[in-house]
Structure 1
């Protein structure tokens, strides 16, 4: 049996252009994600050091601001206007220099809205405004 010999045997070529296109797309994706995540600096948060959990009792007259919806703000369970709330925050902090204001957001609200409201509250109350969660 005789085999035919190929006279024009060429070496296979690897086309690098599609592979480079894919690699550049992946690189662009990671650059955009890194730029997006690196620029978020809404609220500075200081996490507590590892300490044994101690149940801190609420003050005698707690100041709990509930954020239930887009324009639904409640102070100790009663609906309140945001401008009136800012005035009451200032008054409460002046009367009680040791107490903290608790912000209790609804679980259904978007993160951005909660952080924006917390930022507005911190503009009035400083670091004495704390984000609270229900257990």
Structure 2
């Protein structure tokens, strides 16, 4: 009894179907949006902006000590220093450098302390 092999015919049908699907996708009118992408600032641009502002550099050590411009301060002294800095420099920025060994709890506590006295604009500095 003769048997009809359908596998080659299915290959041809699938190839033709794939061809028509691809052709129909390229012939459709695709809608596009005109989007103005934001410009990217280079690290040099950001560094020049920070240098122009003369930021206040606050450091958090691994043991929890806080330093401002290489002077260790207590929590109260830090708050008064931030308040006086922001009064003299309303557009000033505070740059926070954190030791790699410092805990996240210490960082969160310091950030909330800075925010409570008006230091909402804090930049985190990343070291090597």
The residue number in structure 1 matching 2:9 is none
Determine which of 55, 78, 82 is the counterpart of 1:85: 78
Determine which of 56, 75, 86 is the counterpart of 2:47: 56
The residue number in structure 2 matching 1:108 is 101
Correspondences of 1:26-65 after superposition (within 5 Å): 51-53=40-42, 54-57=45-48, 58-59=51-52, 61-65=54-58
Q: Is the 8 A contact 1:65 1:74 kept in 2?
A: yes
Residue 60 of structure 1: CA displacement? 6.3
**Structure 1 or 2: larger helix share?**
2
Normalising by structure 1, we get a TM-score of: 0.55
Taking a change above 3 Å as real, the CA distance of residues 110 and 92 of structure 1, as seen in their structure-2 partners, is same
CA RMSD of aligned residues (A): 2.1
Normalising by structure 2, we get a TM-score of: 0.58
Q: Is the 8 A contact 1:118 1:131 kept in 2?
A: no
Structure of greater Rg: 2
Taking a change above 3 Å as real, the CA distance of residues 111 and 124 of structure 1, as seen in their structure-2 partners, is same
Residue 61 of structure 1: CA displacement? 4.1
Structure 1 residue runs of 5 or longer lacking an equivalent are 1-48
Taking a change above 3 Å as real, the CA distance of residues 71 and 111 of structure 1, as seen in their structure-2 partners, is closer
Q: Is the 8 A contact 1:73 1:79 kept in 2?
A: yes
Structure 2 residue runs of 5 or longer lacking an equivalent are 1-37
* Counterpart-to-counterpart distance in 2, 1:125 and 1:133: 23
CA deviations on 1:36-73 (whole Å, 9 max, x unpaired) are xxxxxxxxxxxxx7723223322464311100134411
Give the count of matched residue pairs: 87
**Over 4 Å off, 4+ runs:** none
